[in-house]
Amino acid sequence: MLSLGGIALFLPLIREDLHMSFAQAGMLSAAATFTYALGQIPGGYLADRFGPKRVFFIGILGSTLLSLNFGMTQSYPAALANQIVSGAFRALIFAPGLTLVASWFPADRKATAMGVYVIGGVSGNILLSLVGPFLVNRYGWRPPFIAFAALGVCMAFVYLALGKQKPAAGPKHPVSVLDAFQLFRYPIMWVCAGIQFIRFGVTTSFNFWLPSLLVADRGLSLQAAGFITAMGFALTGPSNALGGYTSDRLRNPPLVIGASLGVLACTSALLVVVDSIPLLVLVVAVNAIFLQFYFGPLFYVPVEVLGPRVAGISAGFCNMFANLGALVFAYALGVVKDTAGAFTWGFLATSAVCVVGVALAAVLARMRTRALARPHGSG
């Protein structure tokens, strides 16, 4: 997560060091997100075909080595090229990791497991947000970036040595490339894809641009912005598991999805409307709780409907559209900031998109009910 959280947190300094505009800074995120999105279905296919453990290791090692390289870049073109390649390696992390963790849990706890999976990355962002600004004051942004990346490389090999993959139960039915293309046949997958587009677009808008909004629009110091960002990550982490647990207990993922998007529609608008700093911190806190509250439920619906055999591919399918949303939102907010001089209109538009997400959640509820009344694979 360093290549995302670290760049976002240190972005004011990175922009100054590499002489970037806000639009160019948004392009850094957009470029990585584009290759990350394109690699989602291949990453899920490789996990289903060859096992998630080895694919996950390759993704972790490649992305942390590229984070190490990013700390040494001296120009915007080099940083952009780094992020393009980094996105491709990060694509080998998400679907394999999600599949690996969820495989150890029974069906009525898989949404919770999928929420727990995200906590590791969020925990790293909390540590980075708390420690990073103080290290930056003393050493600049490059040494902390390189140090965290080097630690990530070491942890990749620890995972390779100690990580375990659950043996397949029963006869194996290897997935084929055709299985990936067949996902496009199911209307419920398109509805999930639409919500995923909104989900990660909103998440990226908040995580990538929040430090810049606090520093550039609200005049806070990087240390204060880092503290608020860390608070947000600290609340987002456990909310992933709590949202999955709530969905599992209610047995109603669409309800959790729709309610979360309703809250985010309000907080996205309030983020640029409230004047009081204490109220702003409260809005950030509430927003952070619901930002990924519906992560597990949303990724679980395709597995619930289509079955665990294509868990990796379905996760990759959904996350591809999620990251296309992140690409659009991240770049658009940078352009809005450059054009209007503030993030206001960008976050108001984000609020409107969340309302669309609530409507899609209602559609998903009806489609899921019909799909579960039929055998797996009839979507």
pLDDT tens-digit profile of 28-38?
877 887 888 88
Tell me which H or E stretch contains 374.
none
pLDDT tens-place string over residues 196-232: 999 999 998 888 788 888 888 888 887 888 888 888 8
Q: Cα–Cα–Cα angle for 195, 105, 241, nearest 5°?
A: 50
Q: How far apart are CA 194 and CA 318, in angstroms?
A: 9
Residue 1 reports pLDDT greater than 70: no
* Secondary element (H or E) of residue 289: helix 277-291
Mean pLDDT computed over 73-81: 93
Contact 39, 117 (CB under 8 A): no
User: Coil, strand, or helix at residue 339?
Assistant: helix
**According to the model, what pLDDT value does residue 120 have?**
67
In the chain, which ranges are continuous DSSP H helix?
2-9, 11-18, 22-38, 40-50, 52-70, 76-90, 94-102, 110-139, 142-162, 177-182, 187-212, 222-250, 253-270, 277-291, 295-306, 311-340, 344-372
Domains detected in the chain = 2-162+176-372 (1.20.1250.20)
Record the pTM: 0.74
**85-117 pLDDT per residue, tens:** 999 998 899 888 888 887 777 767 776 777 667
Asked whether 290 and 263 are in contact (CB, 8 A), the reply is yes
pLDDT digits (tens, 9 = 90+) for 306-319: 887 777 888 888 98
Tens of pLDDT, residue by residue over 238-284, are 888 899 889 989 999 999 999 999 999 999 999 988 989 999 999 99
> Quick check: 377 pLDDT over 90?
no
Q: How many CB atoms lie within 10 A of CB 349?
A: 17
